[in-house]
Amino acid sequence: MFKLLAYFTLAAIFMLTTNGFMFSHKEKCQISVYKGGKDFSGDKIMANKSFIPYLKSIGAVAKGCNVRIHVVGSYKQLKTPTEYVLSSQMPLALGRGIYFDLQNPKGSTVCNKLCMTTHSWKTLPEAACFIDNVQKKGVKFTEPNLLHDGYTSKASTSEIEALKVATQKLCAPKTKG
Ligand SMILES: *[C@@H]1O[C@H](CO)[C@@H](O)[C@H](O)[C@H]1NC(C)=O
């Protein structure tokens, strides 16, 4: 009788720990809110873990150039993981980029999308300071207004698509039922 009880107790402990082990190794969504502080304004920033160091560089360069990053887009949850995404928008489907414009510390626009596409930023000292220096820190700037980590220009289309589908599935809001 005692032996049997001991056996069941051990079996129960074994099952619990194995499940716990499996649970802790289950893949989790890596996208979370990034609180950038006063070097950022605008939309809430949602980013993948791997993009956080880039956001830190972006904030530091902005501060040094006396501008503020006004965020107009970051991680985008798609309707379905397999939804087609233009390559110019892929960094946002991966949580590895932001759309932005530049403001001064008081919140007036220094350089918007038009200013960036027309290259007027080159003639605005603060904007030129930001865009030149952020690229020296390894952040990629793609016209009109995308800052990203460059992953989508290095990896193959199929690798990118696989990562997109996996991330979008993991990060999809849980539906009831
Ligand atoms: C998110 O970041 C993690 C950790 O750095 C990385 O392993 C993963 O591939 C990234 N996911 C995406 C979609 O970039």
Q: Is residue 62 part of a domain?
A: yes
Residue 151: partners with Cβ closer than 8 Å, 6 or more residues away: 91, 94, 96, 160
Q: Is residue 72 part of a domain?
A: yes
Q: Is residue 14 part of a domain?
A: no
Q: Does the C-beta of 50 come closer than 6 Å to ligand 1?
A: yes
Question: Average model confidence (pLDDT) for the chain?
Answer: 90
DSSP notation for 78-139: -SSTT----GGGHHHHTT-EEEEEEE-TTS-EEE-HHHHHTTGGGGSHHHHHHHHHHHHTT-
Q: Is residue 87 part of a domain?
A: yes
Ligand 1 atom nearest residue 31's Cα: 1
pLDDT of residue 58 exceeding 80 = yes
Q: Is residue 103 part of a domain?
A: yes
Residues 119-135 have a mean pLDDT of 97
pTM value is: 0.85
Q: Does the C-beta of 96 come closer than 6 Å to ligand 1?
A: yes
Q: Which of 48, 159, 171 for mutating ligand 1's site (highest number of atoms within 8 Å of CB)?
A: 48
Q: Is residue 6 part of a domain?
A: no
CA 110 to ligand 1 centroid distance, Å: 32
Q: Is residue 102 part of a domain?
A: yes
pLDDT tens digits along 80-121:
999 999 999 999 999 999 999 999 999 999 999 999 999 999
Collapsed DSSP state (helix, strand, coil) of residue 67: coil
Q: Does the C-beta of 163 come closer than 6 Å to ligand 1?
A: yes
CATH number at residue 152: 3.30.1380
Give residue 5's pLDDT band: very low, low, confident or very high (50, 70, 90): low
Output the residue whose Cα is nearest ligand 1's atom 12: 94
**pLDDT at residue 68 in the model:** 98
Determine the structural domain holding residue 44 and report its residue range. Answer: 31-171
CA 69 to ligand 1 centroid distance, Å: 23
Q: How far apart are CA 22 and CA 27, in angstroms?
A: 10
Number of domains in the chain: 1
Q: Is residue 3 part of a domain?
A: no
**pLDDT at residue 174 in the model:** 82
